[in-house]
Amino acid sequence: MSLITKLFHFVVLTSKKYNIDESHGLSHSMNVLHFAHNIYEAEKIHHPILERHEKVIYVSAIIHDMCDKKYMDEDEGIHNINHFLQDKMTPQEIDITKRIIRTMSYSKVKKNGFPNLYEYQLAYNVVREADLLSAYDFDRCMLYNIHLQEIDPKNKDKDHEIKILDAFNDAHELFYRRVLQHNQDGLFMTDYSKHHYLPLHINAIKRINVWKQIMRKTI
């Protein structure tokens, strides 16, 4: 079994165990992996040191949300990741992988700034920016808000109605406060992300506008 297969199997099992919905589960891991691959392939031409960090980049991209505090205790998630990787990476690679996934989230960067990972700094940016580029998926943001409604304690043990308009409004607010500000906030360091974020940005706005039209329907 290849390492990538084992990593995705770990994502599936962890998502089931901690009720990680599809906005942060397998499909998101796949999307982040694809963006990380594209950034890596573009950046290694000018930064060949990345070739030594390829494994760390791919592993971090796939499992980065498997310790997300929105779903579990972060330390417990990191412990699970550490145990899973013991026979698959060197101790240094495991340490760097854990440091990347513990410091790459938007909220932690906004609060603490970028960590200093020395020779792994560009590898960190590759994974972090892959996650940022995947965040332009507006429907994914709506899906997460729907999931929050599902697990709301107020809705426990009773039938409840999913409020799509509320999910849209929450996602809309987050996009204009955060996601659509990624470039202005100086979060993109790689040339690939600086050159490729704009089509994603534009498509997100188009998606939002279509949703606005749908929300006005009276069917």
Tokens of 127: 């994974």
All structural domains of the chain: 3-215 (1.10.3210)
Model confidence band, residue 219 (pLDDT cutoffs 50, 70, 90): confident
Continuous segment of H or E residues that includes residue 18: helix 3-18
pLDDT of residue 191: 96
User: Half-sphere exposure of 102 toward its Cβ, with a 13 Å CA cutoff?
Assistant: 18
pLDDT of residue 30: 98
Summarised one tens digit per residue, pLDDT across range 153-188 is 565 555 566 789 999 999 999 999 999 999 999 999
In the DSSP assignment, the letter for residue 158 is S
Per-residue pLDDT, averaged over 73-87, amounts to: 98
Tokens of 133: 């580029």
**Helix axes 191-215 and 121-134, enclosed angle (nearest 10):** 20
pLDDT of residue 1: 78
pLDDT of residue 12: 98
pLDDT of residue 217: 85
Per-residue pLDDT, averaged over 52-79, amounts to: 97
d(CA 146, CA 128): 25
Q: In a 3-state reduction of DSSP, which class is residue 214? A: helix
